Amino acid sequence: MSHSLATHPDRLLPADPGTRSIARSLLGRVQDLPIISPHGHVDAAVIEQNTPFPDPAALLVTPDHYVTRLIHASGVPLEKLQPQAGARSIWRSFCAAWPLFDGTASGYWLRTQFESVFGWQGELSAETADASFDAISTKLAEPGFRPRELFKDFNIEVLATTDDPLDSLDSHAALAADPSFHGRVLPTFRPDAYINIAHPAWAANVDRLIAEASDGGTGYRGYLTALENRRRYFVDHGAVSADHGVRTPATLKLDQAEAEALFDKARAGLATALDRDAFEAHMMYQMARMSVEDGLVMTIHPGSFRNHHQPTFEAFGADTGHDIPFAVNYTEAVRPLLQDFGTAKDFHLVLFTLDETVFSRELAPLAGFYPSVYIGAPWWFLDAPDAMLRFRSAVTETAGFSRSSGFIDDTRAFCSIPARHDASRRIEASFLARLVAEHRISEDRAHELIVDVVDSSPRRVFKL
């Protein structure tokens, strides 16, 4: 092959020559549009301080649980992928495992980064581990590979981070105030650890929250006031959304007295599992109420069994590759919330899923009626080429193109952002090209739609 996989102009496009030709033309329409990333996990401080990335392993392997999980599955203990194992040793483990990534989304993004960001043209293997480590390390030491320079090279216009409600947001403020930085780095309000009573730090978090932000209020009322105040603080610092990583999509409207009683019981350490579920569900209702008031887009990410393997959690902590999805049901779960806020003015509620079955069965029908509801882009294990095509096929015939969120990269791997958005654009072009080839939409209209899906949708849905 004359082209490498990573730079082939037709990568991810459909094989049928006629459809591919349409897809190429559609892709051309959006390939150079700026990146809008309304939800992800990059650390704002890294951009503000423009800290050089330390080494290839710390940049590309250790923090990415998509990557470490598959190496672990092949029999490499997680110890060998921890920072203390040493960057070069980790990189060797990764390179030896590289063939496992064929056909995976992570493999696709990594391959693209190696070549497009770091200029590494060779294959990765145990044999080339040291050479590739050195080559990428050399690049990382160059001034052009600092976060702010990459931010510009990557053509990122908006990058949302995910932040603790009590975060000072100093980095965000500094970036906003810096005339030399032209991107927008926006905080996102993520109160899980203040809402989920099962979180080990819940009680301490709530104490701090009330102490710092309740305007002197106490108990449940003080708690709500403090959440409202911190949301306002986020809004003042440019936040456009509040994100909720909940176990299930359940929502529940409790009256003031019931909610207060649950809250007090939980602070006394007496909440049962059912109490915790009820309180979390009720707080989703409250978060929607606050979103209606302060305008923050509400996003919900349910359905992952966190820290599935207890021994791994105890040894290595959370986010180490063993969060496993399970079946969810949205239709009954979000009804209490939608009864009161489903048609509220300017309320935006973006529903994500790791359970593909709800796309056609529940999310497209919900978003095809409620003005507030948007279908979250395929997330986590599903933001991959085939899965994204299945998503479009599952939702479009019911909800059209106007009711989905636009691509969400949801990543902490900063250098993968362009590869992820590029892959998404190729898949949108592929899907639309098929509809054109099947005479379901006109080619002219497809050219409008791809711009809408790639660029206008995230701006509209996330109020950017």
Query: Binders of a second copy among 310-339, rule CB under 8 A?
Result: 310-312, 321-327, 329, 331-332, 335, 338-339
Q: Is 282 in the site for a second copy (CB under 8 A)?
A: no
| Residue 144 found at the interface with a second copy (CB under 8 A) | no
In whole angstroms, give the CA distance from residue 75 to residue 71: 7
Q: How far is the C-alpha of 372 from the C-alpha of 140, rounded, in Å?
A: 43
CB of 201 vs a second copy, minimal distance in Å = 24
247 interacts with a second copy by CB under 8 A:
no
Give alpha helix (H) positions in 113-169. 129-141, 147-153
Q: Taking Cα atoms as reference points, which of 286, 464, 461, 280 lies closest to residue 375?
A: 461
- What is the closest distance, in whole angstroms, from the C-beta atom of residue 378 to a second copy in the complex? 10
Q: How far is the CB of 70 from a second copy (least distance, A)?
A: 5
Which residue among 43, 115, 260, 356 contacts a second copy (CB under 8 A)? 356
Name which position in 38, 40, 56, 107 contacts a second copy (CB under 8 A): 107
Q: Which of residues 22-81 bind a second copy (CB under 8 A)?
A: 69-70, 72-75
Near a second copy by CB under 8 A: residue from 2, 17, 177, 269: 17
DSSP state of 163: B
Pairing status of strand 35-37 against strand 297-300: unpaired
Three-state DSSP class for residue 351: strand
Shortest reach from residue 204's CB to a second copy, in Å: 27
Residue type, 82: Q
The single residue among 227, 382, 450, 461 that binds a second copy, judged by CB under 8 A, is 382
181: exposed, middle or buried (C-beta count within 10 Å: 0-12, 13-18, 19+)?
A: middle
CB of 84 to a second copy, least distance (A): 19
Q: Are 328 and 334 in contact (CB under 8 A)?
A: no
- According to the binding rule CB under 8 A, does residue 8 interact with a second copy? yes
Contact window for a second copy (CB under 8 A) among 8-16, 157-165, 232-240, 260-268: 8-16
Q: Which residue reads 């993968």 in tokens?
A: 416
What's 13's DSSP letter?
S
Q: Which is nearer to a second copy, 233 or 401 (CB)?
A: 401
Q: How far is the CB of 348 from a second copy (least distance, A)?
A: 11
Q: Which of 28, 34, 54, 103 binds a second copy (CB under 8 A)?
A: 103
Q: How far is the CB of 232 from a second copy (least distance, A)?
A: 26
Site for a second copy in 147-206 (CB under 8 A): none
Among 26, 30, 90, 105, binds a second copy (CB under 8 A): 105
The C-alpha atoms of residue 205 and residue 405 are separated, in whole angstroms, by: 31
Largest Cα separation within the chain, whole Å, is 70
Beta bridge pairs of residue 299: 243, 350
DSSP one-letter string for 433-457: HHHHHTTSS-HHHHHHHHHIIIIIH
The least distance separating a second copy from the CB of residue 408, rounded to whole angstroms, comes to: 17
10 Å CB burial of residue 268 (0-12, 13-18, 19+) is exposed
Nearer to a second copy, 224 or 292 (CB): 292
